[in-house]
């Protein structure tokens, strides 16, 4: 079983829609959960990180963690064309700095 | 806002040659990382580096690879005797502190093409 899985998409939505991006993971030792955004030909840019279960909100972005289901989500409200990018979930392995990434979900927001 | 810079943006090298990828981490960061992303695949951890020593490395990071901090600002990844399968995007990252709760900031990568 793969450690971190994401639907690669593409996910295509109209401007203003609420977007839900998801990851599942298999290792119950993961404690921290990160979302990176990657524009074409750019490096991953950290959007949000959360610890353990619960929600965290930052502007139009909400990160949600359900450790019992080993499932994390990133919600984007009022999506904009500038949100068009690949969204990567990532988790540090154990107590290390080694990030385990999902494959990324490509999001397209059309005007 | 401070950022991680990587040079060159694209490197084309003949198979069997050595290549050095360069990174300038954020100035007050102490922990440095290399990741790679083969086209269409996940971003994969290669190595972490602190205080002039490798902290951790993956099984990908074999004797073909080495890292160095030659001065106070640069961090390099050397790949000896390159192979076709080394073709990938290589990302450098840095963080101010260590630990799973410390955000890693990535550069825009070097695209390495082995011919």
- Quick: pLDDT tens for A24-65: 999 888 889 999 999 998 999 999 988 878 899 999 999 999
Condensed to tens digits (0 to 9), the pLDDT of residues B11-20 reads: 999 999 999 9
Best mutation target, B42, B49, B97, to test chain A (most A CBs within 10 A): B42
Check residue A1 and give its pLDDT: 54
CA geometry: angle at B91 spanning A53 and B27, to 5°? 85
Token code pair at residue A3? 């450690």
Torsion of CA B37, B39, B41, B46, to 10 degrees: -20
Longest dimension (CA), chain A: 42
Check residue B2 and give its pLDDT: 74
Contact A46 B33 (CB under 8 A): no
- Interface check for A39 against chain B (CB to CB < 8 A): the answer is no
Tell me how far CA of residue B22 lies from CA of A17, B25, B45, B101, in angstroms.
Answer: 40, 10, 17, 26
Contact A49 B108 (CB under 8 A): no
Which of A28-32, A78-82, B47-51, B91-95 has the least mean pLDDT?
Answer: A28-32
Nearest CA in chain A to B104: A46
Check residue A2 and give its pLDDT: 65
Contact B102 A97 (CB under 8 A): yes
Question: Which chain B residues have a beta carbon less than 8 Å from that of A41?
Answer: 108
């Amino acid at each position: 079983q793969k450690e971190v899985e994401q639907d690669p998409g593409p996910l295509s939505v109209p401007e203003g829609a609420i977007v839900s991006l998801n990851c599942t993971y298999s290792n119950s030792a993961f404690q921290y959960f990160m979302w990176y955004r990657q524009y074409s030909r750019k490096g991953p840019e950290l959007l949000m990180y959360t610890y353990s279960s619960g929600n965290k909100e930052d502007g139009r972005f909400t990160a949600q963690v359900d450790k019992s289901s080993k499932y994390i989500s990133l919600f984007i409200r009022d999506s904009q064309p500038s949100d068009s990018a690949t969204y990567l979930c990532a988790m540090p392995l154990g107590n290390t700095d080694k990030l385990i990434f999902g494959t990324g979900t490509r999001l397209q927001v059309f005007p | 806002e401070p950022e991680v810079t990587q040079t060159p943006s694209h490197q084309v090298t003949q198979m069997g040659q050595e290549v050095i990828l360069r990174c300038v981490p954020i100035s007050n960061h102490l922990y440095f990382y290399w990741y790679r992303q083969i086209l269409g695949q996940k971003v994969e951890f290669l190595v972490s580096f602190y205080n002039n020593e490798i902290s951790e490395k993956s099984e990908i990071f074999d004797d073909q690879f080495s890292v160095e901090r030659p001065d106070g600002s640069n961090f390099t990844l050397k790949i000896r005797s390159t192979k076709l399968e080394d073709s990938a995007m290589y990302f450098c990252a840095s963080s101010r502190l260590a630990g799973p709760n410390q955000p890693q900031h990535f550069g825009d990568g070097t695209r390495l093409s082995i011919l």
